[in-house]
Structures are given as structure tokens and as C-alpha cells.
Amino acid sequence: MWNDGKILTLDIDEVKLEGRCFGPAPDSAPTVVLLHEGLGSIALWRDFPEKLARVTGYGVFAFSRRGYGQSDPAILPRPLDYMTSEAVDALPKVLDAIGFRSGVLVGHSDGASIAAIYGGSVQDHRVRGLVLMAPHFFTEKVGLASIETARAAYETGELRARLGKYHKDVDNAFFGWADAWLDPAFKDWNIEEVIAYIRVPVLAIQGVDDQYGTRAQIEALETQSYNPVDVAMLADCGHGPHVEQPEKTLALLVDYLKRLDRIEAAKAETA
């Protein structure tokens, strides 16, 4: 199934998800699994997966969750715990489907929250580390206000047309995300409880000018984690570090993965 650079289709519980892989297959190298943001898809990672595979020697797998990209539409409205469902129900099946053996989850925004939930809720010794870019652990007024702005731009501006290039059912993608976050009950959404149960090293990356979350998200991770947490706050960067500061973000990931390799090598020597 693994075919470098090619689009593939996963059938997960009769739901078709698009995926794309780069670099070596999971049986010959560790794998980075990319989890996209709330309006993301494979295509919106741009050339980041290919570059990451090239400079690290890791395999890289990206997929569009249900409701995004060319994957099957989601059933709307999404439940307000949809990120937990993605982490504990859908993601384990995706990892098994690609033959995941060892590696790292790299998530952005919603995808970072899903990665954190997985790390703190699912006992999976194959996962060696987490990279959380602009994660959300709870709602903030600034983030909700930015989503309100995005909804207005979608309904009256050019955002719908722009996103339509990346999602085969753009209304399903947008309203599945925005309607959940802007539901009045979602203000109480909080997943901080998973932080204390994460048992692998974490790299957290956030833009100083992130319009969807403040440094309070990162501080929650730093203060509540019992495992190592490295933090990089990127200047001149908003919500998308891998898009706005791609070279710095790539360098951070390369350094992090090298450190994980050293940790694994040390474990092997003492085993």
C-alpha cells in the first residue's frame, strides 16, 4: 500500500479517507503521522510532508480526516467531543491500516489536540513522541472571536471559494468545524486532563501572534505534564508555524527527532 508520493485510499469502517505517504515504509523506518488543523487536508500541508521525509529519513504519512479534503463527508452536526472521538476511535484504526510500527504524531491546531488526546488516552508504545503545533486544550475568547470572523468571511467573502479548492464538500468541512466550536456549550470544552497521562517527550510550537490561542495553551502543557516538554515560540508567526515559518519549524522537528533517536539508541544499549 505504501507508495512514495502517491495518493492512497483507506477504508476505515466503510468510510473512505484519502492518504499520502512519503519516504520509507513503516517496516523500514520510523513514521511521522501528520494530523491537520480544523479546516485542513492533505493538500493544505503543501510541501511540508515531502520536505520532512527528505531531511529526516523518516517515513511521513498525512491523511484527511472524515469531512475534509477528498475523504468522505462527515455526519453533521459533529458531536462536541469530536476530537476525542477522532483520537480514540478513528486514529488507532488509521495507524493499524498503514502498518504503523514506531514513530511520532505531529498535529496542528485541532490535529494537535487529537494527538494530545491520543497520547494521554491510548496506551500505544509505538508512539515515541508528540509534536503539538498551536494546540488547543480549552477554549479562549480570542480563538472563538477568530472563528466568528472566519464564519463571516466564509458566508460573505472569498473564504468559501478558497477552501473549495481543497475540499470536495467545502460546506461539510467548514460548518462541521465552525458550528461545533461556536456552539454555546463548546465554551466549556476542556481536555487538560489528558496532559498528565502523556508518557512521551513533547515538542510544542506556537506562533507569538497566533490568532486562535494564547500562550496559556502552552503553559497548561508545561505546568501539567510529568514528561519533558520543549517549547518554541516563533516570532512573526500566527496560527500556522509550518506555513508561516516553514524552515524554522522544519529545523525544530529535525532536532527533536534526532533527540528521540538518541533516546531510543540508549534504551537499546541498556536493554
pLDDT of 263 > 90? The answer is no
What percent of the chain lies above the pLDDT cut of 90?
Answer: 94
Q: What does the pLDDT average to over 112-127?
A: 97
pLDDT of residue 3: 76
User: Residue 179: CA atoms inside 13 Å, Cβ hemisphere, count?
Assistant: 13
pLDDT of residue 268: 74
pTM here is 0.97
Which residue ranges make up each domain of the chain?
7-270
Q: How far apart are CA 271 and CA 265, in angstroms?
A: 10
Q: What does the pLDDT average to over 17-43?
A: 97
Per-residue pLDDT reduced to its tens digit, 189-219: 999 999 999 999 999 999 999 999 999 999 9
- Superfamily for the 7-270 domain: Alpha/Beta hydrolase fold, catalytic domain (3.40.50.1820)
Per-residue pLDDT reduced to its tens digit, 123-182: 999 999 999 999 999 999 999 999 999 999 999 999 999 999 999 999 999 999 999 999
CA-wise closest residue to 65 among 201, 167, 151: 167
pLDDT of residue 271: 64
Per-residue pLDDT reduced to its tens digit, 52-109: 999 999 999 999 999 999 999 999 999 999 999 999 999 999 999 999 999 999 999 9
pLDDT of residue 188: 97
Phi-psi region of 134 (alpha: psi -120 to 50; beta: other; left: phi over 0): left
